[in-house]
Amino acid sequence: MKAGKKKILLINEEYCKECGFCIKFCPNNTLAKKNTINSRGFHPAELKGECSFCGICYTVCPDFAIEIVDEEQISR
Amino acid sequence: MSRRLPESLKKIPHTYCPGCGHGIIHRLVAESLDELELREKTVAIAPVGCAVFGYHYWNFDTAEAAHGRPPAAATGIKRVLPDRIVITYQGDGDLAAIGGNEIIHAANRGENISVFFVNNACYGMTGGQMAPTTMFDQVTTTTPLGRTLEDGYPVKVCELLSVLEGVSYIERVAVNSPANIMKAKKAVKKALGYQARNRGFTLVEFLSMCPTGWKVSPEKSLEWIDERMLRIFPLGVYKDKG
Amino acid sequence: MKKLWKGNHALVEGALAGGLDAYFGYPITPQNEVPEYMSLRMKQEKRVFLQAESELASINMVFGAALTGKRAMTTSSSPGISLMQEGISYLVGCELPAVIVNVQRGGPGLGNIAGAQGDYFQSVKGGGHGDYRLITLTPFSVQEMYEMTRDSFDLAFKYRNPVLILADGVIGQMLEPADLPEKVPPRKEFPYSMDWILDGAAGRDSRFIRSLVMDEGGLEQHNYRLWDKFAKMEKEISWEEHGTEDADVILVGYGTSARINLDVYNSARKNGLKAGYFRLRTAFPFPSKRLSELSSRSGFLVTEMSMGQMVEDVRLAVSGRSDVEFYGRPAGGLPEEEKIYGILERMLK
Ligand SMILES: Cc1ncc(C[n+]2csc(CCOP(=O)(O)OP(=O)(O)O)c2C)c(N)n1
Ligand code: SF4
């Protein structure tokens, strides 16, 4: 990994089905259920605080709802 | 490390239940094909079962075979296109009940295919009936008082197939924790790698959550695997010919 | 140059001439010569032969090979063909080309191993589940075992539908002179689009092939499309007729029953009887129109090695305009020439 590249945690709220796996396994305890619901009636996960971009949430997400990207990848 | 969804997945939401293991296993297969640069060489067979719509989510060539027959269909593909990567993705009803004969003979022939076998201890798609892998005392819609000896023993696919000479690699993994999922991914890549090197039949069994069939919450389904399945279905490598 | 060939062997040569890429099959009498001879010939020609663990596996191996656009085939006899019905329905639903041969034997159940014609309904009315049809060819000689098998692949790819060759144990086992080329002729490429095959999504979008159609109204539309295709198959109708210009009664049969009819027809004509001869070369599509035309002046005597199946299609075609009589024997009994002749004489009175 190149040092200095800024990361972003992307949560695709529409894909999320509120299984809670990311919240359960996040080592930084930084994910939570959002108060609002998505179009399918689920409370999607949201980032509350600091993220270390370890990728555990991506690994356990069954719904293709989480990605970690380099900031420059999305600003393009 | 950035974690992007692999090219081998289409960017659409799937319809599996919350907490269902199929989504994780779909992604592991897709990531592995991307990382091994096999996507464009792959032809997959989806089963009859909850994963019947695999072709809506995978971005590689996929067909859906009759219930239990993916190993036969995969054999047909591999025999005419031996340089392609041929995979089947099957549930426990598909593989271990109705398709018992096809999987045994494909394994025994050493058919150079990779089988991704999803053991969720029930029939998800048809509403949570008993599967061959259902455990004693497990309540399903056709074992309302729990499975008993009258229904037979849970079928242990890895143990059963590993004695066949044609098998090159068999491992049982689980997808109920980050560490287990990482191990599962390694197993998928190993199976595909073996196939790419013409090593013969490979199979990975995934112990996979079915919160709906088990009538537990997604979070509880993670524990359910540890507490109920691991005793009957121990994780590990059952065969590795290298 | 004509040489003595067995029907089941000629079928294998026909498949090779049709460009067969892969054969999958399971032994059953009276067609065991097919997988046996095929296993050697496919090796010699460097093509794929695999003895499957069952007919369920055979038809699904055919399904797999067909997905890739290869020419795939299986052969069996009645009980084995029954086992294949689910797979055949999937082939139709997925619009995949394949060739299936039924060298019919006596039934129901395990029946016996004599040639019979008890599987007509299963073949032409859609033997598996769902609304569908198969192009069904009915060979009558060892020569036709070769030719129809050879040509069946073109039909299968033209319509992207399985083709069934409805033979019987008599023709499969029969030895007779046939004119087969010394060497397998060069493979003929078909002019049909192959933009549907699964062979790895290299340099193109990924594809999928399936028969599950769950979207609202989708399956209904899919069925309408399939029926358009089945209607187009009318073009392939084929039959043979003799003496129908002035016949008062026409003998109708297919395969072995037609061979017996031909002898009866020839002796009837020698004796001055106004008999006609008509045999199906395709059982689906069925030559209804032609039979309907003929019914304006002729009656029909249908013979089958069954208790009467194809006769129902003749009756539908004739629709009461003239007499249709039936004589058949089930379970491997051959219709007797004298009996047919007797009924013919009576009908002509
Ligand atoms: C010949 C046939 N019999 C039965 C069915 C009904 N059926 C569809 S899916 C299924 C069970 C699937 O269970 P499993 O393979 O365990 O997969 P899961 O849905 O749990 O992922 C059954 C019995 C069918 N489609 N075809
Ligand atoms: S029923 Fe079970 S296997 Fe099927 S989608 Fe739901 S959780 Fe997954």
Q: Quick check: is B190 in a domain?
A: yes
Q: What DSSP state is assigned to residue A27?
A: T
Closest listed residue to residue A67, CA positions, set B5, C262, B197, B79? B5
- Contact present, C and B (at least 3 Cβ pairs less than 8 Å): yes
Give the integer Cα–Cα distance in Å for B163 and C2.
52
Give the integer Cα–Cα distance in Å for C136 and C239.
12
- Shortest alpha-carbon distance between residue C256 and chain B (Å): 33
**pLDDT per residue rounded down to tens, chain C (349 residues):** 899 999 999 999 999 999 999 999 999 999 999 999 999 999 999 999 999 999 999 999 999 999 999 999 999 999 999 999 999 999 999 999 999 999 999 999 999 999 999 999 999 998 999 999 999 999 999 999 999 999 999 999 999 999 999 999 999 999 999 999 999 999 999 999 999 999 999 999 999 999 999 999 999 999 999 999 999 999 999 999 999 999 999 999 999 999 999 999 999 999 999 999 999 999 999 999 999 999 999 999 999 999 999 999 999 999 999 999 999 999 989 999 999 999 999 999 8
pLDDT in tens, B64-90: 999 999 999 999 999 999 999 999 999
Chains that touch B (3 or more CB pairs under 8 A): A, C
Per-domain residue ranges of chain A: 7-75
Token representation of residue B77: 């593909």
Ligand 2 atom with the shortest distance to the CA of B17? 6
Q: Quick check: is B42 in a domain?
A: yes
Asked if residue C145 lies in contact with residue C113, where contact means CB atoms within 8 angstroms, the answer is no
What's the pLDDT at A1?
Answer: 45
Enumerate the H helices of chain B as residue ranges: 21-35, 54-57, 70-80, 92, 100-108, 157-162, 178-196, 211-214, 218-224, 230-232
Give the integer Cα–Cα distance in Å for B30 and B23.
11
Bridge-based pairing of strands B201-207 and B42-46 is unpaired
Give the C-alpha distances (Å, rounded to integers) separating C19 from B220, C92, C157, C303.
Answer: 56, 21, 12, 35
Q: Quick check: is B14 in a domain?
A: no
Contact list in C for residue B41 (CB cut-off 8 A) is 200, 202
Per-domain residue ranges of chain C: 3-192+207-235, 238-348
Give the C-alpha distances (Å, rounded to integers) separating C308 from C135, C253, C335.
Answer: 21, 11, 12
CA of B136 relative to ligand 2 center, distance in Å: 20
Number of domains composing chain B: 1
Give the integer Cα–Cα distance in Å for B7 and B2.
14
Give the integer Cα–Cα distance in Å for B71 and B75.
6
Q: Give B64's contacts (C-beta < 8 A, 6+ positions apart).
A: B45, B46, B47, B48, B52, B54, B55, C208, C209, C210, C211, C212
Give the integer Cα–Cα distance in Å for B205 and B162.
12
Q: Given ligand 2 and candidates B50, B56, B92, B214, which is best to mutate, with the most ligand atoms within 8 Å of its CB?
A: B50
CATH number at residue B179: 3.40.50.970
Q: Which residues line ligand 1 (CB under 6 A)?
A: B 48-51, 67, 91-94, 118, 120, 123-126, 131
Judged by CB atoms closer than 8 Å, whether chains meet at C68 and B72 is answered as: no
Q: Which residues line ligand 2 (CB under 6 A)?
A: B 16-17, 20, 22, 50, 120, 124-125, 210-213
Q: Quick check: is B141 in a domain?
A: yes
- Write a three-state SS string for C32-55: CHHHHHHHHHHHHCCCEEEECCCH
CATH code: domain C3-192+207-235 is 3.40.50.970
Chains that touch C (3 or more CB pairs under 8 A): B
Judged by CB atoms closer than 8 Å, whether chains meet at B218 and A64 is answered as: no
| Domain C3-192+207-235 shares a fold with domain C238-348 | yes
CATH code: domain C238-348 is 3.40.50.920
C56-66: b (≥16 Cβ within 10 Å) or e: bbbbbbbbbbb
CA of B48 relative to ligand 2 center, distance in Å: 13
Give the integer Cα–Cα distance in Å for C293 and B228.
73
- Shortest alpha-carbon distance between residue C46 and chain B (Å): 11
Ligand 1 atom with the shortest distance to the CA of B210? 20
- Contact present, C and A (at least 3 Cβ pairs less than 8 Å): no
Give the integer Cα–Cα distance in Å for C150 and B225.
55
Bridge-based pairing of strands C175-179 and C2-6 is antiparallel
Give the C-alpha distances (Å, rounded to integers) separating C146 from A52, B72, C138, C278.
Answer: 71, 28, 12, 21
Give the integer Cα–Cα distance in Å for C118 and C183.
35
- Shortest alpha-carbon distance between residue A3 and chain B (Å): 11
Q: What residues of chain B have any CB closer than 8 angstroms to a CB in chain C?
A: 39-43, 45-46, 52-53, 55-56, 58-66, 69, 72-81, 84-85, 101-102, 104-105
Q: Number of A to B CB contacts under 8 A, please give it.
A: 72
Whole-model pTM: value is 0.97
Give the integer Cα–Cα distance in Å for B93 and C53.
20
Asked if residue C96 lies in contact with residue C63, where contact means CB atoms within 8 angstroms, the answer is yes
Q: C60 φ, ψ to 5°? A: -80, -25
Domain coverage including residue B118: 22-240
Peptide bond into C30 cis (omega under 30): yes
Residue A4 pLDDT > 70: no
Asked if residue B54 lies in contact with residue B62, where contact means CB atoms within 8 angstroms, the answer is yes
For domain A7-75, give the fold: Alpha-Beta Plaits (3.30.70)
Judged by CB atoms closer than 8 Å, whether chains meet at B73 and C50 is answered as: no
What is the DSSP annotation of C187-201?
Answer: PPPP-S--TT--S--
Q: Quick check: is B135 in a domain?
A: yes
Q: What residues of chain B have any CB closer than 8 angstroms to a CB in chain A?
A: 1-5, 9, 11, 13-14, 16-24, 27, 177-178, 181-182, 211, 218-219, 222
Which ligand does the CA of B93 lie closest to? 1
Closest listed residue to residue C200, CA positions, set B78, B10, B58, B42? B42
Q: Does C26 touch chain B (CB under 8 A)?
A: no
Which ligand does the CA of B127 lie closest to? 2
Contact list in A for residue B181 (CB cut-off 8 A) is 59-60
- Given 3-state DSSP classes, what are the helix, strand and coil percentages for chain A, each rounded to the nearest 5? 20, 20, 60
pLDDT in tens, A17-38: 999 999 999 999 999 999 999 9
Contact list in B for residue A42 (CB cut-off 8 A) is 18
Query: CA angle C254-C174-C337, nearest 5°?
Result: 50
Closest listed residue to residue B73, CA positions, set C38, C50, C219? C50
